[in-house]
Amino acid sequence: MVKNYTDIQLLDKVKSLSSFKNIPVGYWLLGVRSSEDKPNHFDDKIYLFDGDKFIMVTSCTTNPGTPILKNGFKSYNKEGAAVVSADTWHYDIWKYGLHKGKMPALLQIGAEIKIHRDGDSDDKSEELGKEQHGWYGINFHANTYNLSASKNENVIAGWSAGCQVVNDTPKYKKIIELIKAKGGKISYCLLNEF
């Protein structure tokens, strides 16, 4: 699991990135990808901020699950699984909507996102190949359609083919409720553990 950081450490780090323009006004999300990267496990973190103010943190994955990494990607893109580029800002990428028409989520309908394609078919999520920018359906959602669930599952399985996925349903619901109430586009910054 990713180590703990203070708000100041996180804000200083995101401001130091070459892609930094500004801290978004209103809600935005900050992911931290675990350096351990235990295959097929929720070992990353997502932080919700409102401007410079920390709101909450929860466990998540910023990596595709093993079934996708080990050739499941071929049903999506023959080049490899989508791995969101880390240590970069993805401004205004998400807007509230329904993931697969079923789950309240943040959908990639705001802007292009930066990814790499991991096509080596092992169980490690890696930023391989040239960075790509585009519309890949990289959403932010939970790992269950039952948002009344309170049990945290720790295995990613097919829940992520590149999406950023939360496995703590009560915290996920709170994040979505807050963002939906305010509306607008949501920016995302993804860091490698530092």
CA angle 133, 134, 135 (to 5 degrees): 155
Q: Which domain holds residue 147?
A: 7-192
In a domain, 2, yes or no: no
pLDDT digits (tens, 9 = 90+) for 112-121: 999 999 999 9
What's the mean pLDDT in 17-34?
Answer: 98
In a domain, 136, yes or no: yes
Number of domains in the chain: 1
Q: Could you tell me which residue, 107 or 101, shows the higher pLDDT?
A: 107
% of the chain at pLDDT higher than 70: 100
C-alpha distances in Å from residue 129, one per residue of 19, 60, 117: 20, 25, 6
C-alpha distances in Å from residue 116, one per residue of 21, 64, 97, 131: 22, 12, 25, 5
In a domain, 1, yes or no: no
| Cα 161–chain centre separation | 11
Instruction: State how far the Cα of 46 lies from the Cα of 29, in Å rounded to an integer.
Output: 7
In a domain, 75, yes or no: yes
The answer to whether residue 150 scores a pLDDT higher than 90 is no
The answer to whether residue 25 scores a pLDDT higher than 90 is yes
